[in-house]
Structure 1
Amino acid sequence: MKKYLNIYTCLLLLFLTSLGACKKDFLERYPTAKTSPQTFFKTENDLKSYTNYFYTFFPDGAEIYNETADNIVLSSVAREIAGTRLIPASGGGWDWGNLRDINFFITSENVKNYPNAAIRDKYLGLARFFRANFYFEKVKRFGDVPWYNIVIETNDEASLKKPRDPRTLVMDSILADIDFAIAHLNTDKSVERVTKWTALALKSRICLYEGTWRKYHTEFNLAGAERFLSECVSASNELMTSSGYTVYRGTNGPTGRPYQDLFDQLTLDPVAAEVILGRRYSAELNLKHGLQFYLTSRTQGKPGLEKRLVNSYLMRDGSRFTDIANYETMEFYDEVQNRDPRLAQTIRTPGYKRITGNAESGQQLAPSFDATVTGYQLIKWMNDPSLDMSGQSIQDLLLFRYGEVLLNYAEAKAELGTLTQDDIDRSIKLLRDRVGMPNLIIATANSNPDPYQAALYPNVTGVNKGVILEIRRERRVELVMEENFRWDDLMRWKEGHLLADPFRGMYFPGTGFFDLDKNGTNDVEVYAGSKPPSTGVYQIPVSDLSQGTKGLIVTNRNIVKTFNENRDYLWPLPIEDLTMNPNLTQNPYWE
C-alpha cells in the first residue's frame, strides 16, 4: 500500500512541529489575549500550521461507520435507542473547546491584518467552515445554543453566563460562515483537504437538515423551511454542475462491483472521482481503526441489518419486494434473490467470498450468526481477513461523497414541490445506473405510493408523497453505515417512533436445520426446549422468534424501547452547566 499518513494526524504533527511546542502550551502562553501573539500568524505557513489542527475535529473510526439507529442492530441497545437517556451531570456533547480554538484564529489581529487578502481569506474560510460544522452539530443535538464568535475571557461574566440564542440566529450565522468558506476556499479537488467543494457539500447537508426539520417539526414554529431547502438545491446544483465529481463506476476494484468497491478498497484514491473528503489511515504509520473487528468479532455487538431495511431493497427489475404476497415469510435464500444489487454488496448473500489480497478468492461463505445478531451480516467496508483483528483496519474512510449530494438535491426539490424527471435523471438515476437498477419515475411513484414505506413514514403527505417515499428508500439503501445519516434523517423527518419498534432479523419457519446459502452444508439449527448437543452449527432457540415456534428473530426482546415524541428529538443540557449558568434553560420535557 502506498505510504499514506492519516491526514489529520499528519497535519496535527506538522502544526506541533511548526510551533516547537504543543498546541496546549502555545495557547497557554497566550491564553486570553485580545490579539494573537506578535511572533505568530506572520507567514502563510503559520496560518496553515494552526488551521491544520482543525482537521482533528472530524469524526474518526467508529464515529463514521457505527450507526446507532434502526439500520444496524446490535446485541445491546444504546440509551438513545432504548429511550432511557439520562440528563448528564456534565459533558453530554455540551463542550466548547474546539470552538475556542477556531475563534482564537478568526479573531486574531495578526490574521485579520495579514497583508495578502487572498491567502488570509482562504484560511479564514477554512476556519469558518469548521465553525459552521461545529455549530451544525450543536444545533442538531440541542436546538438553541449560545452563539460565540469571540474567545471568551475568564472575567467576561456576560459571555460566560450568556443564555441560549434562538436556533434561527445560529443557523443564519452558520450560513454566513459556510458561504464565506465557499467564496474563499480553493477549487482544487482533494481527498484530504477541505476545499470549496467540501464547503458546498457541507452546505447541502446542513440546509437539507434544517429545511426538513423546520417543515416537519411544526411544534417549534420555525419559519424558513423553503429558504433552507432552496439553499440546499442551490449548493448541490453548483457542486453537480461545476465540480467535476462523478458517481464512481470503476470495475477494477477488488470485486469489480462499483458500489461495494467504493468502500472496500484500502485507499480512497481509486474512487476519488466520488470522494469529496476522506480520512486517511496507514499500516506503516500504525494509524488504524477497528472496523473489521467490529464486523467479525462476537464481542463487538454482532451488528446486522434490520429486517425492515432488508425489506426496503427493491427487486432488480424495480418492483417492490413488499408487494410480493408472502414476503414476510420468505426464508433467507429466497428473499435475497433478484434484489437491488446493493443488498448483496452490503450483506453476505449466497455466493459471497472474502476479499483476499486484491480480489475475491477462497470459499463461499454463508452469513455467520457468530458475528451478526440478525443474520444479515454486514460486508460494507470489508477487505482482507488480516484486518479482522482488534484495531487493525487501515481502510481510508469517507466523510463527504458525491452520492450524498445527489440524494440531498433530489430530496430538497421533492420537498419544495419543484422536482422534475430531469432532476431525477441527474441525481437518483446516476446512483441506480451504477448497480444496473431501473430509473425512478416520478409519475409512477406518485400515482402509486408504496404502502410499506408509507407506514414507516406517516408524516409524508401531499402530491409528492410517492416520490418522497422513494427518495427516502434510496437514501437509506445508498447511505447505510455511513456517518450516522439514519439517526439524523429520523430526527429531521420527525419519525423517531421507528426507534421504539422491535428490531428483527431473518425468518425461520420452525425448528430444524437450515442451509442459508443452499450449498449443501447446514449453517443454523433452530431448536425448542433444552439446548441440544452441539452439531457444529449456530443454535437459535425458538424463544428468539416472533411467533412461538416460527417467525422473525427478535433482538433485545427483554428491552421495552420507548421514544418520547415531545422530548427525544433534542438532547438534554448537563446539570453542571445549568447550575453554573442560571441563564441557560433545559430542553422541553427534560426538566
Structure 2
Amino acid sequence: MKKQLSILAIAAAGLFSSCEKFMDRQPQSQIAPDQYFNNDNELRFYLNSFYSAFPSAEGVYNEDIDNVVKQSLGDNITGRRTVPLTGGNWTWTELRKINFFLDNYNRVMPESQAGRYAGVAKFFRAYFYFDKVQRFGDVPWYSSAILQTDKAMLTKARDPRNLVVDSIVKDLEYAIEKIDDLTYPGISGPTTELVTKYTAMALLSRVCLFEGTWRKYRGETGWEALLTKGAAAAEQLMSSGKYKIYTSTPEKAYLELFASIAPIKDEIILAKNFSNELSVWHNVNYYTITSSYGKPGLDKQLVNSYLMADGSRFTDIPRYDTITFYAETQNRDPRLSQTIRTPGYARIGTTNPLVPDFGASVTGYQLIKFVTDMSFDSYNRSINSMPIFRYAEVLLNFAEAKAELGTLTQADIDKSIKLLRDRVGMPNLDLAAANASADPYMAAQYPGVTGANRGVILEIRRERRIELVMESYRWNDLMRWKSGQSLVRQFKGMYFPGVGQYDLDRNGKTDVYIYEGTKPTPVAGVQYFKLGSEIDLENGAAGGNVIINRSTTKTFNEDRDYLQPVPIQERQLNTNLSQNPNWVDGL
C-alpha cells in the first residue's frame, strides 16, 4: 500500500501509457497517508503542486489562430494534424495527484476544517477535466486515485462528455461553497496568486458558456440549463463587489493592465507572476520585436472589426477595404492603438515615435499588448504578470450566456459590456439597435448565428475577440461556436495601393518602400521590400492587402477537426478507448 501511495509515484506516474513502466518502478521515498495530511500546513503545501497546471506565459500570449498571424501556420490551421503515436495531451499524472489528495485530505482533520482545502483540489480537478473535454470530448472520469493493479479502472472506456461536464460543475460548486479566506491565513479576500472561491466562480462561468454554446450550435439538448448556470455564476462574482474593471485614462488603461509588472488586483482574479529576484522570466518583449518567433501580427479581419470611436462600424465606410494604414487607424476604438503600433506610438518610458516594423510583424500590425519598457527586451527577460482569469472575461461570459438564452436586457449590458467600453471611452452597446441592424461584416464571419438576438450576439462576439485578443481564447471560442471554417480564409495584413514609397505615420518621411527590379539606394530608417519575394500583395503591382502564406493550403474538416484524436499507443494499451470521429489510426 505504501508503494502505491508514495509521493514519487504521484509525481511520476500516468494512468495509461505509463502504467506498465510505473508498476515495475521501485519508489525512492515513501510517504503514506498516515504520515501526512495531519494539519493545515501539510495540506496547503501539497496543494501548491497543483498550480503547475496553469499555462505558461507563452501559453497565454502566444496565440496563433486567426487573430494573430505568423510566417508559418500550425497543423491545426492547415489541416495537417494526424493521430499521434503518444502524447497528444492525453496525460493524466496531474489527476492522480489531485485524486490522491481528495482520498486522504480529511483522514485526521475534520471535514469542517479540511473541506476548504478539498475545495481547492476540486477546482483543479475541474480545471484538469475541462481541458480534456475541450480537447477530446468524451474522456474517462475518475473520482479517486487508482491502484496500480486495478486493470479494470486503468482500461476503462471513455465516459460521455455530459457526465464529465456535470461532474466538473459539481466540483466547482463545491469549491465555491467551501473555499474561504481561512484557506490562506493572513490574506483577507481575493488574491491573484492563489485559487479562491472567486476563481471557481470565474471558471464555472467559463465552463458553462463553453459547453452550453457547444451543445446549442450542434442541436444538442441541455444547453439552456448550462448557460443559465454560467450566467448565474458570473453574476454571483459580479455581485460580490470584489472586482472591477481597471481604469486610468481611455488612452492608456487597457495597455497598462497588461504591461503591469504586478497584477492589477482590481481586475485580475488570478495571474502567473514573474520575478528578477526569483529568476523567473518570460519572453513577450523579445517575441514581439524580433523575427525569431514567426513575426506575429494582427490579421486584417480583426483590425477591420474594431469600431470607430463614436461606436459606428468601420466596415460601413465606403471602400473601407482600400483605406491605408494611417487613415484606418484614426478615430478607432482605443483598444486598437493599445494592441498594435499605430501612428504616434512610443515605447513605455520613451517619447520616440515608432512605426510598425515588418521585420518583426508579418502583417504590419505589430503587437504591443503585454509589451513593457525596453529594459526587458533581451531574450527571456520579461517579468510582467500574465492573467489566467480576469474580470473582463467574466463580464463577457455573462453577457454572451444571457444573449444566447434570449434573456439579455439593456440593464445586463449596462453592467457588463458597458464597463469594458467605459474603460476606453467608447459608447455603450445598444441592444435594440444591434438587433435591428445586424452587422453584415460580422454576420459573414458567423453564419450560424440566427434568431431575434442575432445582432447582439454578433456584437458580443466582436467585443470578446477585441477585449481578449492575445490571451489564447480564440481557438476554443471558434470550436464551441462551430466556426471552424473561419480558419480556412486567406490571412491578410496592411493595404498598399501598389509599389512605391509609404509614410506610415505621415511625419514627412518614408517608412516603407515596395519596389520591383533593382533595390533602390538604401536610406536609413526605410524598410525595403521587393514585391513578390519579400512582400506579397493581393494583386501584385496593382496593390492590395499584404498576403500571408498565399501558397499554404488551409483546410478544416467539419466532421473531424473540432476534437483532437486519441493517441495510438493509448488505444493499444487500452482497447476499450474509442477514437474520435473520422480520425483514422489504423486500429
Distance 1:530 1:502, change over 3 A: farther
Map 1:304-453 → 2, pairs under 5 A? 304-356=297-349, 361-453=350-442
> Could you give the per-residue CA deviations for residues 517-536 of structure 1, whole angstroms, max 9, x where no partner exists?
11122111112245555444
The aligned residue for residue 58 of structure 2 is: 62
| Moved beyond 6 Å, runs of 4+ | 19-23, 25-33
The farther-off stretch of 531-540 and 293-302 is 531-540
SS of match in other structure, 1:394: coil
The one-letter code matched in structure 1 to 2:500 is: G
2:258 corresponds to 1:245:
no
The one-letter code matched in structure 2 to 1:459 is: G
Contact 2:11 2:97 in 1 (8 A): no
Distance 1:214 1:425, change over 3 A: same
In 2, the alpha carbon distance for the partners of 1:99 and 1:140 equals 16
The aligned residue for residue 487 of structure 2 is: 499
Contact 2:299 2:491 in 1 (8 A): yes
Q: 1:226 aligns with which of 216, 224, 227?
A: 224
2:95 corresponds to 1:99:
yes
Shift of 1:117: 2.4
The farther-off stretch of 339-348 and 236-245 is 236-245
In 2, the alpha carbon distance for the partners of 1:225 and 1:30 equals 46
> Could you give the per-residue CA deviations for residues 265-315 of structure 1, whole angstroms, max 9, x where no partner exists?
1111xx211111111100111100111111111111111000000000000
Query: What do you get for the CA RMSD once the two structures are aligned?
Result: 2.1
Contact 1:332 1:516 in 2 (8 A): yes
In 1, the alpha carbon distance for the partners of 2:159 and 2:354 equals 54
The total of aligned residue pairs comes to 557
In 1, the alpha carbon distance for the partners of 2:112 and 2:330 equals 56
The aligned residue for residue 196 of structure 2 is: 195
> Could you give the per-residue CA deviations for residues 416-463 of structure 1, whole angstroms, max 9, x where no partner exists?
000000000000001001100001001100010000000000000000
In 2, the alpha carbon distance for the partners of 1:578 and 1:84 equals 21
The farther-off stretch of 387-396 and 255-264 is 255-264
SS of match in other structure, 1:354: coil
In 1, the alpha carbon distance for the partners of 2:459 and 2:317 equals 18
Distance 1:354 1:128, change over 3 A: same
In 1, the alpha carbon distance for the partners of 2:413 and 2:28 equals 52
Contact 2:36 2:42 in 1 (8 A): yes
The one-letter code matched in structure 2 to 1:229 is: L
TM-score (norm 2): 0.92
Q: Percent identity of the aligned residues?
A: 52
The one-letter code matched in structure 1 to 2:222 is: G
Shift of 1:21: 9.2
Distance 1:20 1:256, change over 3 A: farther
The aligned residue for residue 162 of structure 1 is: 156
SS of match in other structure, 1:489: helix
SS of match in other structure, 2:538: strand
SS of match in other structure, 1:552: strand
In 2, the alpha carbon distance for the partners of 1:225 and 1:478 equals 25
Shift of 1:580: 0.8
SS of match in other structure, 1:355: coil
2:292 corresponds to 1:299:
yes
Shift of 1:142: 0.3
The aligned residue for residue 518 of structure 1 is: 506
In 1, the alpha carbon distance for the partners of 2:413 and 2:118 equals 36
Structure 1 unaligned blocks of 5 or more: 1-18
The aligned residue for residue 113 of structure 1 is: 107
Contact 1:421 1:442 in 2 (8 A): yes
Contact 2:84 2:567 in 1 (8 A): yes
2:544 corresponds to 1:548:
no
The aligned residue for residue 267 of structure 1 is: 262
In 1, the alpha carbon distance for the partners of 2:322 and 2:496 equals 8
Contact 2:245 2:419 in 1 (8 A): yes
Structure 2 unaligned blocks of 5 or more: 1-5, 14-21, 182-188
Distance 1:153 1:395, change over 3 A: same
TM-score (norm 1): 0.91
In 1, the alpha carbon distance for the partners of 2:474 and 2:210 equals 12
In 2, the alpha carbon distance for the partners of 1:338 and 1:75 equals 30
> Could you give the per-residue CA deviations for residues 316-353 of structure 1, whole angstroms, max 9, x where no partner exists?
00000000001100000000000000000100001101
The one-letter code matched in structure 1 to 2:157 is: P
The aligned residue for residue 459 of structure 1 is: 448
In 1, the alpha carbon distance for the partners of 2:528 and 2:573 equals 54
Contact 2:362 2:548 in 1 (8 A): yes
Distance 1:256 1:559, change over 3 A: closer
The one-letter code matched in structure 2 to 1:193 is: L
The farther-off stretch of 135-144 and 149-158 is 149-158
In 2, the alpha carbon distance for the partners of 1:530 and 1:83 equals 38
Distance 1:432 1:185, change over 3 A: same
The one-letter code matched in structure 2 to 1:546 is: E
In 2, the alpha carbon distance for the partners of 1:552 and 1:507 equals 4
> Could you give the per-residue CA deviations for residues 393-414 of structure 1, whole angstroms, max 9, x where no partner exists?
1111101111100000000000
Distance 1:24 1:496, change over 3 A: closer
In 2, the alpha carbon distance for the partners of 1:96 and 1:163 equals 15
In 1, the alpha carbon distance for the partners of 2:400 and 2:301 equals 21
Shift of 1:36: 4.6
> Could you give the per-residue CA deviations for residues 364-384 of structure 1, whole angstroms, max 9, x where no partner exists?
111111110000001001111
Q: 1:85 aligns with which of 81, 104, 118?
A: 81
SS of match in other structure, 1:573: coil
Contact 1:32 1:152 in 2 (8 A): no
In 2, the alpha carbon distance for the partners of 1:290 and 1:306 equals 22
In 1, the alpha carbon distance for the partners of 2:402 and 2:32 equals 45
SS of match in other structure, 1:399: strand
The aligned residue for residue 213 of structure 1 is: 214
In 2, the alpha carbon distance for the partners of 1:580 and 1:530 equals 61
SS of match in other structure, 2:460: helix
SS of match in other structure, 1:505: strand
Contact 1:69 1:487 in 2 (8 A): yes
In 2, the alpha carbon distance for the partners of 1:366 and 1:210 equals 42
Shift of 1:541: 3.4
> Could you give the per-residue CA deviations for residues 167-190 of structure 1, whole angstroms, max 9, x where no partner exists?
111011111111100100125211
Contact 1:163 1:583 in 2 (8 A): yes
In 2, the alpha carbon distance for the partners of 1:107 and 1:589 equals 38
Distance 1:564 1:32, change over 3 A: farther
Contact 1:351 1:517 in 2 (8 A): yes
Contact 2:11 2:93 in 1 (8 A): no
2:118 corresponds to 1:129:
no
Shift of 1:233: 0.7
Distance 1:130 1:107, change over 3 A: same
Contact 2:214 2:481 in 1 (8 A): yes
The aligned residue for residue 3 of structure 1 is: none
The farther-off stretch of 117-126 and 228-237 is 117-126
